[in-house]
Amino acid sequence: MKETNLDWAKLSFSYTKTDYNVRCTFKDGKWGPIEVTDSEYVPLHIAASCLHYGQESFEGLKAFRGKDGKVRVFRMEENAKRFISSAEGIAMQPMPVELFCEMVRKVVKLNERFIPPYGTGASLYIRPLEIGISPLVGVSPATEYMVIMLVTPVGPYFKNGFNPIKVCMSREYDRVAPKGTGAIKIGGNYAASLVAGEKAHHNGYSVMLYLDPKEKKYLDECGAANFFGIKDNTYITPNSETVLPSITNKSLTQLATDLGMTVERRPITIDELESFEECSACGTAAVCSPIGQIDDLETGKVYTFGEPGVAGKMTKALYDKLRGIQYGEEPDTHGWCEIIESEN
């Protein structure tokens, strides 16, 4: 295997060129064969529906090189199911679960040399993407689609890694609309968060915590990550139709139950923040990032959690348990990981 000259410990959450990506096209009512290419570019018609009407969805999952040297992909089938939900939510052709998983296995094997070594804290990020490619001028769903899967080695999503982050919330911005597309993973939702996100970064915050778009009374999510709070040995996360169902959050709720915690999915009011002992943002990219402080930009109220600069005890226990399963350090009792056998 060709050597990879990367400083794994210094990787950020950004794109690094790898050897191959894989693609599959839906045309004439059926999915075609999986194609392999080393090109980083996609030929598109100038009237493609993804360019004009936003027919685009994506996923994010990771492959990890474990303590035993084996490569594990975390909860691939759950991502495949959510990929289907996103496609259906914007009238695209859903890709069958098994075809999705076959593409993941193939792209990971083809780029095995870019899977960071165990102990570096880095992983191989897998980005499936579906786009409408039919040329359209009138507003209607495409009839042809392409799914692309690219991979890139990544470090932590937030610059300070597993250390408490500073978050702000504002009533000035909505990420999505009630009864809209908040519960599916499409590019438009992320485009709608960019202005608020840049404002947060400009003012020294890691991320914006969004409120529910209807009443602005309840916590929703952190744009690219779900939110949870902990108090009285209870894991509490918002139950909202405008929040993306995070696979990481779903996993953490199971681990919380395994650790003897009570789990509640319910609306969380802003005022309830004062009673939380710990808070965190969680997702595939962020994994589990403890929140040390939340600033309300309109009222000026500041909410703090735990000791400054120290992750909460239960948040750390959940993080360690999840990462332990992903890296093969802990028993995978729920069958979440698939081991990808090397082709070499």
299 burial (CB, 10 Å; 0-12 / 13-18 / 19+) is exposed
The H or E element spanning position 129 is strand 123-132
Q: What is the mean pLDDT of residues 112-129?
A: 96
The band of 133, judged by pLDDT with boundaries at 50, 70 and 90, is very high
The amino acid that residue 94 corresponds to is P
Q: What is residue 223's predicted lDDT score, i.e. its pLDDT?
A: 81
Over residues 29-41, mean pLDDT: 98
Domains of the chain: 8-154 (3.30.470.10), 165-326 (3.20.10.10)
Residues whose CB falls within 8 Å of the CB of residue 136, separated by 6 or more in sequence, listed in order? 47, 48, 49, 52, 53, 142
Q: Pick from 97-101, 153-157, 160-164 the range whose average pLDDT is largest.
A: 97-101
Asked whether residue 105 carries a pLDDT value surpassing 80, the answer given is yes
pTM: 0.96
Mean pLDDT, range 137-152, rounded to an integer: 98
pLDDT at 342: 81
Structure tokens at 111: 């780029």
How confident is the model at residue 97, as a pLDDT? 98
pLDDT recorded at residue 162: 85
* Separation in Å, CA 229 to CA 85, 265, 288: 27, 11, 12
CA distance 226 to 220: 8
Q: Calculate the average pLDDT of the chain.
A: 96
Place of tokens 């709608």: 192
The tokens of 297 are what?
């930009």
Extract the tokens encoding 99.
């075809």
Amino acid at 88: E
Q: For residue range 222-259, what is the model confidence (pLDDT) as tens digits?
A: 988 999 999 999 999 999 999 999 999 999 999 999 99
Q: Mean per-residue pLDDT for 117-133?
A: 96
Instruction: Tell whether the model's pLDDT for residue 161 goes beyond 80.
Output: no
Q: Which of 283, 288, 339, 332 is nearest to 125 (CA)?
A: 283
Provide the pLDDT for residue 225.
94
Instruction: Please report which confidence band the pLDDT of residue 286 belongs to, taking 50, 70 and 90 as the band edges.
Output: confident
Q: What is the secondary structure of 275-304 as a DSSP string? A: G-SEEEEEETTTEEEEEEEEEETTT--EEE
Closest CA to 92 of 59, 50, 128: 50
- Count, in order, helices (H) and strands (E) of the chain: 7, 17
337 touches 325 (CB < 8 A): yes
- Residue for token digits 């802990």? 330
**pLDDT digits 0-9 by tens, 255-282:** 999 999 999 999 999 999 999 999 999 9
Taking 3-state DSSP, the helix, strand and coil percentages for the chain, each rounded to the nearest 5, stand at 25, 30, 45
Residue entry with tokens 């939702």: 189
- Position 2 scores a pLDDT of 80
Question: Does residue 180 carry a pLDDT above 80?
Answer: yes
Calculate mean pLDDT across residues 122-132. 97
For 9, 76, 183, 195, 296, the CA distances from 106, given in Å and listed in that order, are: 26, 13, 28, 36, 45
Amino acid occupying residue 193: S
> Which residues pair with residue 37 across a beta bridge?
21
Do the beta carbons of residue 48 and residue 132 sit within 8 Å?
Answer: yes
In this structure, how many other beta carbons lie within 10 angstroms of the beta carbon of residue 8? 17
* Helices 247-258, 76-89: inter-axial angle, 10-degree rounding: 140
Phi/psi at 132 (5° precision) = -80, 130
Range of lowest pLDDT (118-127, 156-165, 204-213, 335-344): 156-165
- Whether residue 193 has pLDDT greater than 90: yes
Quickly state the pLDDT bin for 208 (edges 50, 70, 90).
Answer: very high
CB 245, CB 282: distance < 8 Å? no
